[in-house]
Each structure stands twice: as structure tokens, then as C-alpha cells.
Structure 1
Amino acid sequence: MATLTCRTHFLFFSVLLLLILLYISPFNHNSFAVFLSSSFSYRRINKKSLQISPVLITPSASPAPTPSPSLNFSNSTISISSSGSSASDDTRIRVKSSSEKIEESLAKARAAIRKAIISQNYTSDKEEIFIPSGSIYRNPYGFHQSHIEMKKRFKVWTYREGDPPLVHDGPVNNIYASEGQFIDEMESELSPFAARHPDEAHAFFLPFSIANVIHFLYRPLVSFSREALQRFVMDYISVVSNKYPYWNRSSGADHFMVSCHDWAPDINEANPELFQYFIRVLCNANTSEGFRPRIDASLPEVNLLFGTLGMPGQGVSPRNRSILAFFAGGSHGYIRKRILDRWKDKDKEIQVYEYLPKADLHQNYQKLMGQSRFCLCPSGFEVASPRIVEAIYSGCVPVLISDHYELPFSDILDWSQFSVQIPVEKIPEIKAILQGIPERKYLRLYMRVRRVQRHFEIHRPSKPFDLIDMVLHSVWLRRLNFRLPF
């Protein structure tokens, strides 16, 4: 009887101790659980490890997030036996896991960036060919050091799973070109950011093409339902998350996709929790439709003609541009409709066309942009427009007319320094607003457009600070802003 009582007391205090430990455990406070799907494993991630804090916006940028409570995802000890000793005499030596090594590397990068912001100088082991400077950058010192650290450290693992054309392929021409060009660049053996093994990767790229999924799975187009698209993406994540540990250890927070198709933001609607921390690099960066600027990244939309990587020429000199403002495009969406209703065929200084003559259409379009001081860049059915990049190529100051659009590279670039933003409700005032810009200010805007061109050019292979490199830097910044739990 006494033995039974002792066992009862022991069981009672054991349960009580377990409840206390659970209460003070990091799994209880400030934590949450993410169910990836019925086929995925259940993983708890501490909120602190995924807090997003801007790194480069101002000199008083937030410090790096505090380290998250340690969660063991891999065996962090090994046994080393001396010759002739028994297993019981093994010495347990602590070695760093791959996650710890990655986070140590990122911590050094954060420290270097903060130092550059405070000292207003950079530290590099190599001679720097280009040094960002001037008002087009929110913080040129932080950006430059961040880019140095990215070149030095950042490694991306591109998953090998999947078959073309839905995976490892994408359109490299027309309006979805930035999607296909990026996929092709990351698949290239020339990329200096390619990880040799997934254990050394800071980020993981899912190389499926939403544009190709739509093209091949929705032909003939009998339904606008996103179900087939969502099922494809879910299946791909299921494959890589079951085969590798990387998605589950971060709930996808260090994984990213790149897409310029209008439907791309809809992939997460079937299972929002699955994509809660997944980085979506999107042309359709509409904050009213679920785009999250601190997690997602805005991708420039670039319309590439077959066999080209951009528009030729810079247009005429700023003082010889005879057209105050120019726009040509279909009546897609309410913003364009307002512009066409108010300005089409109404004013020689504000030249607005719904359709240009078909003869030499592209050449006429480029010529008119190159002769214009300002180029109207309104949103269409979706917020992004290739006219922004086309205007920058042409040396034409972009006039941004949109609602809820997160502009590309806004972490780094101060768009107010090289563009004009006009609210939708002030479309009737476009001429008065543009005429009210003093000549001296216009010339400054023009020169800054010329300076920012390098960040919107596409090169193959990619070059430092070009569009593909800047997209990677956007992912790098978001990877800097959280820590893996380990």
C-alpha cells in the first residue's frame, strides 16, 4: 500500500513538473503551429525567429531580431572514440549544425551592414567597381555593404525536382520575360550564388513557372478557377518538403518563387497557413490583394521582344524633348479608362493613344517615349506595367498612376527622386501638375532616371546591380530579417 502511495505521489509530481515545463517552454509562449497539409509534418516555429525588421531603410534601422529559443532539427553532436576505448568512454564533442553556421554568417552580415550605416563607409576585401551614392537610394551605405555581403555569402539552392515545361523553364520574351529570365539564370552553371549542396544554402528557390502552368494546364481555357494552379504548387511543395528537411524547419520562410503572371498571388488561397512566411517575388505586387512588402518582393515587369534583353537607345536629350507626356495602351482597368476618357485626342502636349498605328508599332512607341519628358505609367487590370521599365530605358521620367502598388526595389530605391506619382483622383490635373514642375527639377529627375537604369537592365549572365541581381538582393534582405530556429 505504501509502495502504491509513493508511486501515486511520484506520478502526480511528474505530471505537475511536466505541466510547469510546458508552461515555460518556448513552444508555449509566442509560438504557433503551422499545418502544411495532411501529407506534411507538423512543425512549430517560434514567432521571434520570424519577426521582420527593416535593415536598410534608415540609419537608425532596427537591430537584428533576438535569437530564437533553440529548437533541434538535426543531431548537433558526434561521437569520437579513442583507439582501444569502449563506446561508453566516447567523448561527446559539440559541433555546429548547418543551420547554426548559416545563421552565424548572416549575423556577421547584419553587423557589417549596421557598421556601414553608422560609419557611412563600406568594408570590402575587393576593389569595388560601382559604389552606390546619391538620393536615388534610401541608404546608399547600407545598400552597398549589404550587396558586398550578399556577393560574399549568399547561396541559393534551386530544387532539381520537376520536369519542363512547368518547372525549370519559363517565358524569356514578352511581358512575362522577367519570370523566365530569372529561372534560366538560376539554373545556369554560371551563377555565383548557386549552392553546391542544400545544407550551405541561405535560401531555396522553387523554379516553377506560373506563366507556363497557365499556358499548358489551362489550354483550352474553359475555367478561370485557380484550383489546378493551386494544386500544382501544393503538389510541388509536398514533394520537396517530404524529400528534404528545409521547408519544414522554417515553414517555408527561407523559400521563394518568382512570377510575373497576374494569377501568381492566388496560389496561397487554398491553404494560407502553408504560405504564411513563403517569399513570393511578384510583378502583381498589390497590397490590397494580399501582397506583404516585408515578406514578399516586387518584381519589375519587363516586355522583351524575341532575341532582345531590353529597349535600344536612350531617346533624345532632355532639352529637345518636345512632348510633355505620352501614353499608349488599351483601356484595361478603371485607371486607364479614366486617362483615355480625359486625355485621348484632347491635347497635343499630353499625347494619349489607345492604339498606335500598326505599321512599325514598336518603333513608333519607342520613338514617342524617347521624345517625351514624362511617360504616363498607369496600372491596368493589375498594378504592374512594363511601361515603367520602358520609360526608364528611354530616359523618360515615369509618372506613376496606381493604387496599392508596391514598387520594385522599394527597400533600396527612393522612387520619389526619379519619378512623379499622381493620385488616381488627380488624373484631370495631369497637365497642370507636370507643367508645374520647374525645369531645374525636371533635369534632376531626368539625370536620376539615367542613373537608375543599371538596376533595370537585364544581362545574361547577370551582372552586379542589374535587374536579376537586384531581385536576388530583395530575397537576400528578406532572408536577413529572420533567424532559423536551431
Structure 2
Amino acid sequence: MRGDLSAILFLLVLLFSVAIFNSYNGSGTSSSVLPFFRLSPVTMPAPAPTDSASATMSAPTPADSAAAPMPGSAPAPVPESVPEMPNATPSTVSNASAITEKTRGSVVEMSRLEQLEEGLARSRAAIRRAVLGRNYTSDRKGRGFVPRGSIYHNSYAFHQSYIEMEKRLKIWIYREGEPPIFHDGSSMGLYSIEGQFIQEMDKKRLRFITNDPEQALIYFLPFSVERMVRFFYKKGSTVNVVKLISVVISDYVQVVANKYPYWNISNGADHFMVACHDWAPKATVKEEAVRSLIRVMCNANTSEGFNPKKDAPLPEFNFLFRLPTVVRVPTPPSSKKMLAFFAGGNHGSVRNFLFQQWEGKDSQIQIFQHLPRRKGYTQHMMNAKYCLCPSGYEVASPRLTESILAGCVPVPISDGYVLPFSDVLDWSQFSVSIPVRKIPKLKEILINIPEHSYLKLQANVMKVQQHFVINDPPKRFDVVHMLFHSIWLRRLNVRLFDL
């Protein structure tokens, strides 16, 4: 009787998980890229090891059967007509029809896309199995780092997804354009993560870069918005710089779309850009030419059109003289005597509110526009339990990454900010987010966090540090690879045959 009950419970859990996965397959969107990244690991009663239970675990869903033929089966036939597309614009249907006309007689082109999509379907199925089985499968020799713990929404889903990314992700970089606006970017300063990423891509030393566009899953547009701003902006000028940037980006897309077939196949849904400048969202959000483009941006503000289902947040850094690193000798939690700390310019409404409420009003909350002499910025962060990360002119702030690398629990203070890598990382486990309206209650919120809860938060900050480190050359699971994984997730959420 107990064995029958366990088997019934197991099947119910399995059917629930398949239903969630099928809802993702059918809609083409989800609450956050892939549903199972935010599901807690499923605890299932162990059923009797029967062949039927094993078959149930490995059987594909109907949606997967269509997208990913089983080994040995015939590939899906080339579609004779464009499938109906809900909410499609006339231009979208027209483009898709043109693509079908061009490729109807091209077995090579269609089989290439079919193979790519079949591989992605297999990856989705592998991630689902990892969640259900609380395990992972890999061809890689030696496990290396294994992500586990509460800092992840679902460590099993993340780990398997990362393995699948290493197996399948290939990126081709468009060659058009000349430095400094294309294939280059600033390597130091507030927006330098943009330039660092573009330069790293052009070095082509990462396993994900391919020289064959036919093998690519994703395509990179190598322009620098920060360099465009520097080139176009002149103090006192009445020129609309944001509009000029929009024109440059649209023209670049037109060039590569006319020269290569890849943009037109997906309307840009498998293409991405990287930008850290504050004006990047405004320059791209209303442009019809790039409406499907994956935008990887520091200014990940939902009130300015950032769409976390399609776009990916980029962590902001302030490179001064060298790459930021983890503090070598962190301050033990028991020695942190300051409750909260912030130092920075009073610009933007959020910071203005913060300074009005707390500057010079409480010895436990140290807030400065300018640090006194002989008081080091990093040392203050190391000596504080919580490091405040208020938005400035825009939502993103380098203090988020600076806090983590200093071993200080970050306190994001913003509205509408999608935190970096939040598809995978559970920020509630290593940070304390405070909405702007609750700034007056800042001390009350922080001081009422029990000591054991603070110690857990701080310990998790130390665990998550490796995901915010910039290495030269990049290493597995560091910030560059986490960015690749964010981009991979967006591609995993797109089926070209559904466009």
C-alpha cells in the first residue's frame, strides 16, 4: 500500500512538472526565461525501481517530440508554409514568408536550423530531468565547481543549464564596422564592463566564439554605445544624441541584414548587444528594427522598457586602475561595527531622498558625499555589515558589485531594477532589497534583521563572489561566463520555427 501511494505521489509531481514545462513550450515566454529556474528542488518519494517509472522519466513531452526527434527517428519535414503567428505584424509575416520562399528548396539551410533547434530541445529536456532527479549529467571529465546552496533559485537547473551551454553555445561576431565605435570600447571607468566585454569577444580566445556563422546559435553586434556618446555628445549642443545613437544602431542592423541571412531568419531574436551607458535603453526601446534584439544592459530598468524575458541585466563596475578583485583578507562578521555605509555623489532623486533622511543623522548609518581624508572607501565597506546601493541618475550602481567583492551585504535601494543574474541567483539570500519609499525606515529594517539571519546573508555573499569576479583570461562561472549564461538562457527561450 505504501509503495502504491509513493508511486501515485511521484506521478502527480511528474505530471505537474511536465505541465509547467509544456506551458513554457506553448507560450514562447515565461515568468523568467525558464520556469524551473525559480522552482525549488522537488523532493519526491522514492518509487519502486520499475521499468515503467524509468520510462515515464525519460519519455519526452508532446511538445518536445515535435521539437526534438528521438535518436534514430526521421527529422521533422521542412514546413511548406509559414505557421500562423499570434500578435505578428504584417512585416513579420512578410519577412517570414520571404525566408520560407528562400529556404523551401534549400535542404542544407533547413537541416542546419533543425539541428540547432533539436539540440536546444535536448538541452531543455536535460535541464528538466536535472530538476526532477536532483542531479546532473555531463560528458566533462572531472566535475570541477558544482553550484549548490540557497544562493541559487534551483542549483540543479543552473548546473545542468551551464553544462548544456558549454556543450552547445556558439557565438559569431559580425565583422562590419571600425574602431573606436565598433569592435572596441573603454576598458576603464564607470561603463567599462561594456568595453571589456567587446574587447574580450574580439580576442576570440573563448570556447564559445566561432568563425563559422553557420554553426552559431547567437550573433553579436559589436558596437559600443559608450563610445557613440563620447563621439556625439558636446556640452551645450542641442543635438539629440540618443536619436543619433538609434540611427547608427538601426543602420548597422540594416547593413548586416542586407549582407547576411541570419538577422532576417529570426528578426534579430537570436542576436544580442552589450551596453552599459545610461542612454542605451532610450536609444533602443522604441526602435522597430531592434525590437526582438536581446539587449544586455547595465540600466536594467523595467520602467524604461527593459524586458527580463528577452533582455539580460549586466552588472556595473567602476574600473579605475585595475580589474576589481575580491578583498584578500575580509573583515570577520563579528568585527563589523558599522550598521550601514554609503559614499557617493548626491545625484538622482533616490540619493537625494537618502541624503535628506540620513546624512549626518545617525552614527550607525554612515553616509557621505565625500569621504573624509584618511578614510578608505574599501575599508569602510569591509567594516560595515550592510552596504547601501542606491540608484543614481539610473537604477544600476557599481556599489552592488563593490559590496559583494568587499564581503559586505548589499542593500539595493531602487524601484524597477532587475538585478544581475537574477534568473539564476536568489538575491534574497545574500542581499536586502529596500524600495525607495521605505528609505525613512532604513535603520528599522536593518536593525531588526536577527543576527543569525545576517550571518547567513554575509556567508552567502562570500559564496556568490566568484560570479562577480572578472578574470583575465575569463574562468568558468566568473562574471563573463555568467553573462554568457544569461544570453544562453534567452536563446534557449526562442524557437526559430515559431517566429
The corresponding residue for 1:188 is 203
User: Is 1:57–2:38 an aligned residue pair?
Assistant: yes
Measured after TM superposition, the shift of residue 219 of structure 1 is: 3.7
CA distance in 1, matches of 2:134, 2:470: 29
1:424-466 per-position Cα deviation (integer Å, ceiling 9, x unaligned): 1221111121111111111100000000001110112211111
Larger radius of gyration: 1
How do 1:64-463 and structure 2 match up within 5 A? Answer: 70=79, 71=82, 72=100, 75=103, 97-126=111-140, 127-219=142-234, 222-223=237-238, 225=240, 226-269=242-285, 271=287, 273-310=288-325, 312-313=327-328, 315-357=330-372, 359=373, 364-463=376-475
1:85-114, CA deviations, whole angstroms, 9 ceiling, x for partnerless residues?
Answer: xxxxxxxx8885221121111111111111
CA distance in 1, matches of 2:109, 2:352: 63
Aligned AA for 1:233?
I
| CA separation of 1:59 and 1:222: change in aligned 2, threshold 3 A | same
How many angstroms apart in 2 are the aligned matches of 1:132 and 1:316?
A: 25
If each structure's helix is expressed as a fraction of its own residues, which one has the higher value?
2
Identity of aligned residues (%): 49
Change (3 A) 1:74 1:195: farther
Contact 1:298 1:406 in 2 (8 A): yes
**Distance in 1 separating the partners of 2:489 and 2:286:** 28
RCO higher in structure (CA 8 A, sep ≥6) = 1
The 1-side partners of 2:412 and 2:40 are apart by 27
Superposition TM-score, scaled by structure 2 size: 0.80
Structure 1 residues 369 and 291: alpha-carbon distance in aligned structure 2, compared to 1, 3 A threshold = same
Letter in 2 for 1:418: F
Q: How many residue pairs were aligned?
A: 421
One-letter code aligned to 2:117: E
TM-score (norm 1): 0.82
Residue identity opposite 2:406 in structure 1: S
Where is the strand percentage greater, Structure 1 or Structure 2?
Answer: 1
- Give SS of 1:376's match: strand
* TM-superposed deviation, 1:179: 0.6
Give the corresponding residue for 2:481.
469
Q: 1:286 is aligned with what amino acid?
A: N
Task: Please give the alpha-carbon distance, in whole angstroms, between the structure 1 residues aligned to 2:40 and 2:443.
Answer: 37
Contact 1:314 1:394 in 2 (8 A): no
User: In angstroms, what is the RMSD of aligned CA positions?
Assistant: 2.4
Q: Give 2:348's aligned amino acid.
A: G
**Contact 1:373/1:396, CA 8 A, preserved across alignment:** yes
TM-superposed CA distance for 1:311, in Å, is 5.8
Structure 1 residues 224 and 300: alpha-carbon distance in aligned structure 2, compared to 1, 3 A threshold: farther
Q: Is the 8 A contact 2:345 2:369 kept in 1?
A: yes
Amino acid at match of 1:460: D
Whole-Å separation in 2 of the counterparts to 1:249 and 1:77: 15
Q: Is contact 1:211-1:261 (8 Å) kept?
A: yes
Alpha-carbon distance change, 50 to 251 in structure 1, aligned in 2, over 3 angstroms: farther
Residues in 2 aligned to 1:244 and 1:109: alpha-carbon distance in whole angstroms:
27
Shift of 1:175: 1.1
Gaps of 5+ in 1: 1-47, 79-92
